[in-house]
Structure 1
Amino acid sequence: MHTNHFILGAGGHGKVVLDAYVRDGRDVRLFDNDPSRVGGRLLGHVIELQPALINSSLFGHLAIGDNVTRRRLLAALEDQVLGWFTVIHPHSSIAISAKVAEGCFVAAHAIVGPDAIVGRSTIINHGAIVDHDCRVGECCHVAPNSTLGGGVTLGNEVLVGSGAVILPGICIGDGVRIGAGAVVTRNAPAGAVLVGVPARISL
């Protein structure tokens, strides 16, 4: 079947995205830039080598777990695609008033609450909660079972580790990395690494 949609990334995260996308019968091409994966199969789909130039008549999704790499590819391929498509697992919950930008992935059992805004190419992973009125930047990753309380703001390329909790109203700067299980009770400057309960900046 001919398709004008592709997923770039055939690793673990790519498998999760692919599973969510094809479960209702949709077809998609699967690209990767790792020659060792090319020609293999992922959930029955043949892995193709990422072309040097991607056909501008295609829609793409970046199934890359690393925020910095995803951001770089988003910029590099911006003019080579017709657009970025969002993948939303049917067992997730997105409020009617929420806004999820292009290229995002919302995994099974994730929740995006009323009036929340999620920026481009962001991952809301399994069981994660983005509560009401949150503002999430581009190319973030809200990892499995983590929680953003109401009104939390994340900059771009923020990683919220598995099981971490950010209390309501907290502002997190660009590129912050929050360790698994951390509880964030204070605002965090750009580039900080936060760990612990309550979370503190790691030196």
Structure 2
Amino acid sequence: MNDLILIGIDAIAIALLAFGIYFRRHRRRDLLVAFVGVNIGVLAVSLVLASATASIGVGLGLFGVLSIIRLRSTEISQREVAYYFASLAIGLVAGLGGANLPVACGLIALVVAAMAVIDHPGLLAAHRQQMVRIDRAIVAETELVAHLEEILGGRVHRATVVELDLIDDSTLVDVRWSPTSAARLAVAA
């Protein structure tokens, strides 16, 4: 009976995580399908492992293998990696947690709530990260930061040169920055 309850809780949790939180905020259909598919697959396999004489180590090994296969197949952001692991964890907890239903439900709720809070658009909204290609090679760090602040309209907290091409006269920079209040107002208008 606990397994059926956990299957229902898993379905609600992954729907909330994938559709209610991730898709509404990020709109990547391909990853939505991946999160739900992996969750259901891990749930099914972990339910079978829980009913067999296999150890929890086998289930955790499956967790690792699935994540390595998926994460090597395409490039995804760190945020999406977090959603990926959350969907894996929910399926694993639901599949193996039948012996202690209240703890399993609490852990599933904790995973969904943590992702909802930590990925909320209002949390750290003033902090941005992006890759910027500048159409000239800039070697001096102070000149680079000043140029980035001018084109981005904000305060640069960190600028890491990823590529400096003196032949094609360009600079690729990973920038951590915050827009000024004037720039935030212009975007909001």
Sort the TM-score into its range (normalised by shorter chain): under 0.3
Higher relative contact order (CA 8 A, sep 6+): 2
Between structures 1 and 2, the one with greater strand share: 1
After TM superposition, the score normalised by the length of structure 2 is 0.20
Between structures 1 and 2, the one with greater helix share: 2
After TM superposition, the score normalised by the length of structure 1 is 0.19
